Structure 1
Amino acid sequence: MTPSSAPRLPLRLRLLLHGGSVLVALFTFVYARLVCTFICSLSPPVLARTVILLALFHMVLRELLLRLLPSSTEQSTPARRAWQLSVLSWVLTGLLAVVLHATRYPTFPVASHLKFAVGYCLLGGGLLAQVEYLLFENALPSTPNLSLAAKLRERLGRRLIEGYVIFTTVPAGIMLLTLLRFIDELKGERQYVIEAAMLAIGFTGVALAAAIAYGRSLRRDSERLLEAVRRVGGGDFQSTVTTSRPDELSLVAAGINEMAGGLQLRERIREAFGRFVSPQVATEFIEKYARHGKSAVLGGSRRDVVVLFSDLRDFTRLSETLEPEVLIEVLNGYFQEMVAAIQRHGGMVDKFIGDAVLATFGLTGSQGDPAIAAVSAGVEMLRRLEAYNAKLAERGLHLRAGIGIHAGEAVAGYLGSTDRMEFTVIGHTVNVASRIEGQAREPLPPLLFSQEVARRLGDAFPVQEVGTVPLKGVAGEMSLLTVAGEARPVRAA
């Protein structure tokens, strides 16, 4: 992000930042007069002018840094970058205060000059900057395209340790500087400073150790949650996630587990649903209605499709001679082959009607020309039927089928009632395909299609006209064609 495109800070946030500058200036004025006898020799107006000058310098410097320098980098978010620039402004103001005071009062000891750095470097750049960090995070947008290093900088454990370090070391350091005043200026016992320093180091060390341990625990739990989210996003809904503490993160973990369970159930429903209807219909229904909690709407829309109708010949006689269990087994094996051929060429099985199969092409936006796909599927269905008959020969069975294909406009949608519905295609095109299938029997070949389908095929297949016949419900006679080389009927064994 370039400086010109840096986001402008809201007025309320800028006023809060300037208020922090005023607060540190007041602290520095009071602190310097309380802990330094040399500064106490100055009149309050003189010291006030110095402090006011530093506060104004800090306000202007921070505004310039935030406006002119890039508001984010590949290694930091806008909020962290603004926090870094704010800390830089506090430190530079503290250094200016030391240099300015040393230049104006060269006879004062070095410790007297450093009193100004306490307010701006420690209080401002240390404590107040942490509050500013939170303000920047609430006001500035986050950057999603960050490098891994930048993401690691923003981890909860790191932020926790940073806060512990600052909020323990800064107060301890200021207290020690105050005690040094009693030693150097009021001739106190140095033993008290040593004792206080040992206590400060001990308490700070324990606090930092606890922060590091807690930060690592928080990091491990966060990594578990992130890994669980990645797994769920990748489609793995089996594993669960737990945390080491019963806090808000455990509630997040429980929510992830519940979400994974819901997604797993939805996938199982989709899979089961897709076995009773076309998988494409199942997916469309879930995405359009179930996901958004909408009620399914009856009705449909006009679509240009290619319809394939297939039916077994002499099925009534076959059902009379076979036991029901054997008949179901034979039919399932037959449907297995037919459905595989249809889906391989991008078709959608609409329904099974007894021993018949109704399929559509071009309804789900599959690749390729629907007419070519439908005829290709029909040719493969016949070839698969020949292979399946070879398996049935040992039982003394031989199946024959007829396939009819027609192209045109049909209505595709949900048919039935609000309590029981199905997705299907209806219309004249479907009826014509069924009538053509009825003609696909001896002496005509088992694969027939209309002149409209032949027109759409172009040069994809060598076609052959096999006759002109009247069809029920169709005005006039219709020319029927087949694929050259497939024009032989499948004769009974």
Structure 2
Amino acid sequence: MPTKGSPGKTSRTTAQRVGRVLERVTHQSGRPDTPAYGSWLLGRVNESQHRRRVRIQVILTTLIVVANLIGIGVAILLVTVAIPEPSVFEDAPLWISTVAVPIYIVLAVAFGAYWITRQTVLSLRWAIEERKPDRNDSRNTFLAPWRVAVVDLILWGVGAVLTTTLFGMVNHLFIPRFLLSVSFCGLLVATGSYLLAEFALRPVAAQALEAGPPPRRLAPGIMGRTMMVWLMGSGVPVVGIALLAFFEIVLRNLTQTQFAVGVLIISTVTLIFGFILMLILAWLTATPVRVVRAALKRVEQGDLRGDLVAFDGTELGELQRGFNAMVDGLRERERLRDLFGRHVGREVALAAEKEKPKLGGEERHVAVVFIDIEGSTKMVTKRPPAEVVEVLNRFFAVVVEEVDRQRGLVNKFEGDASLAIFGAPNSLENPEDHALAAARAIAKRLVEEVPECPAGIGVAAGEVVAGNVGSKERFEYTVIGEPVNEAARLCELAKSKPGKLLASEQVVEGASESERAHWSLGRYVKLRGYDQRIRTASPVEPAKPAK
């Protein structure tokens, strides 16, 4: 089977690049210019679990508390300014508005913060203990945002019932105001808390996704998220405005100016809350796409790392996992391409990729270089096998590097001999120039770098049939023709000549003037197995061993 010696410069570069890629892919860490989870706040993939737990708790608690405080401020604005009559301060006992309600707010915020911290720790215990998540751990992880939202709804619901009851006992006109305003803010805050919790829990969600996709009912998907945000950011507020108008028609407790101010305030709150919720949703949706886009740019540049972290439980997470699967396939293809190229030659492998290989060949004008080690049997018998292999590898490395440099193909390794072709399968404008230059460089380097392996080199040119030879199940790319045999015979004869390099007159005459200047024509010889005599040529300055 023909093999390709790809320690050549280009081949070695490809192999080294693939090696670096395979080495980097074993390290699961984000690039410094691309946050692994889409935000610097969430840290790096290789962060310790203890530090990650503290980070998540701080981010989650802070975001949820801030969201609730904003919601409380908006609720106070709605019940005191948007609907000023009756007044919560003048028309109700002060102990309700200045003692009971503030105490509940403080207790609710403190309890909510404590519950979030405690439940987060319980839900993420598997991550803290650094063990692989099972399906139940994965379920608890993706339930965490829902639990945060439910607790917010419960606390705000209790607050709505409490304030409605306390103020309603004083004046029934307070009932719709507190019931709708507090409930409205609670729904918006719970929705925001859910989205913010999803963001804060991305690092552990990424680890949980390693156990498999989340239960579908726990992951609402992009459409579910969008509809939920629309409902809470637009649908519910519009219903609130409509109810305000309805109660004003029924109760008639507001002046025209007060009603207009109330509608204006509720509309402004709706716009602000709707904008904030849509901003969070858009950011949550766009971030995974941006991470994939950055990874695609790396792939375009040849960086086939598959370390993209899948941290989203929706279709975007499936996109991230699909990207990693795609990169795995590309990396495997690159590995096979490199392996294939080492066996059959890069040019042959490239041609096989572009079109389906088939048996048969075509006539091509090529130049052929045949190299064979002199006294290889003696070397094998007198040296340890490991040393023989080491010497042969250095010998073939020289051959392959120079053939690659001249855009040739090392078609065969036959024991201690090799055959190089110039002009097939890739076309060369003047294959004779490339073959002769490669032969001279190989002869010089072998003398200097591998003196223990003297080798004869023969160069010939002419018409050959180049193509795939064999059967449909097993074939190889090769060339068949007179120049191959002639180069082998010239190689055999060159072993006894100074410089150990001979070329046929036809090759030298077909070369450019600049290349011919390096060669001198010699005498006519009769090669073994040939009836006709041919004229040989040798380098003007044959390679000589260093003294």
TM-score, normalising length from structure 1? Answer: 0.56
Q: 1:465 to 1:211 in 2, by over 3 A?
A: same
- Change in CA separation of 1:192 and 1:444 when aligned onto 2, cut-off 3 Å: closer
Partner deviation per Cα, 1:390-446 (whole Å, 9 max, x = no partner): 5xxxxxxx3321111111122222222233322222222212221222221324651
Identity of aligned residues (%): 29
CA positional deviation for 1:171? 6.9
> After alignment, is 275-284 or 408-417 more displaced?
275-284
Give 1:308 deviation, angstroms.
Answer: 0.5
Number of the residue aligned with 1:361: 422
**Match of 1:195, SS?**
helix
* Structure 2 residue aligned with 1:238: 305
Aligned counterpart in structure 2 of residue 217 of structure 1, from 266, 284, 291: 284
Distance 1:243 1:462, change over 3 A: closer
For 1:433-469, what per-residue CA distance to the aligned partner results, in whole angstroms no more than 9, with x for missing partners?
Answer: 2122222132465111112211112322243222212
1:442 corresponding residue in structure 2? 496
Change (3 A) 1:243 1:337: closer
Distance of aligned partners of 1:484 and 1:226 in 2 relative to their CA distance in 1, 3 Å threshold: same
Deviations 1:74-101 (A, max 9, x none): xxxxxxxxxxxxxxxxxxxxxxxxxxxx
Contact 1:164–1:211, Cα closer than 8 Å, also in 2? no
CA spacing shift, 1:169–1:369, aligned 2, 3 Å: farther
**Could you tell me which amino acid in structure 1 is paired with residue 458 of structure 2?**
G
Deviation of residue 368 (structure 1)?
6.3
1:275 to 330, 334, 342: 342
Measure how far apart 1:355 and its partner are. Answer: 0.7
CA distance in 2, matches of 1:164, 1:349: 69
- Shift of residue 288, structure 1, vs aligned partner: 3.3
CA deviation digits over 1:287-343, x for unaligned, max 9? 434xxxxxx322222221111111111222222222322222221121112222222
User: Residues 362 and 164 (structure 1 numbering): CA distance in 2 closer, same or farther, change over 3 Å?
Assistant: farther
1:226 match: 293
Q: Does 1:332 align with 2:393?
A: yes
Alpha carbons of 1:164 and 1:374: their partners in 2 closer, same or farther (altered >3 Å)? farther
Q: Deviations over 1:362-400 (max 9, x none)?
A: 22547763211111111111111111245xxxxxxx332
- TM-score normalized by the length of structure 2: 0.51
- Closer, same or farther in 2 for the Cα pair 1:468/1:491, shift >3 Å? farther
1:299 corresponds to 2:360: yes
Higher relative contact order, structure no. (Cα contacts within 8 Å, ≥ 6 residues apart): 2
2:269 maps to 1:202: yes
Q: Which amino acid counterpart does residue 303 of structure 2 have in structure 1?
A: D
**In 1, Cα distance between the equivalents of 2:275 and 2:499?**
87
SS at match of 2:488: helix
Kept after mapping to 2: 8 A contact 1:297/1:414: yes
Paired position in structure 1 for 2:476:
422
Letter in 2 for 1:274: G
- Whether the aligned pair in 1 keeps the contact of 2:504 and 2:537 (CA below 8 Å) is yes
Between the aligned partners of 1:164 and 1:467, the Cα distance in structure 2 is 96
What is the count of residue pairs matched by the alignment?
320
Q: How far apart are residue 227 of structure 1 and its match? A: 0.6
Shift of 1:249: 1.6
Equivalent residue, structure 2, for 1:408: 462
Structure 1 gaps, min length 5? 1-155, 290-295, 391-397
* Larger CA deviation: 323-332 vs 370-379: 323-332
**Structure 2, unaligned stretches of length 5 or more?**
1-222
- CA distance 1:202–1:492, change in 2 (3 Å): closer
Which aligned pairs between 1:4-23 and structure 2 lie closer than 5 A? none
Q: Tell me the residue number matched to 1:261.
A: 328
The whole-number CA distance in structure 2 between the counterparts of 1:469 and 1:490 is: 24
- The alignment partner of 1:413 has SS state of strand
Query: Who is 1:17 aligned against?
Result: none
- Residues 56-205 of structure 1 mapped to structure 2, 5 A cutoff: 189-205=256-272
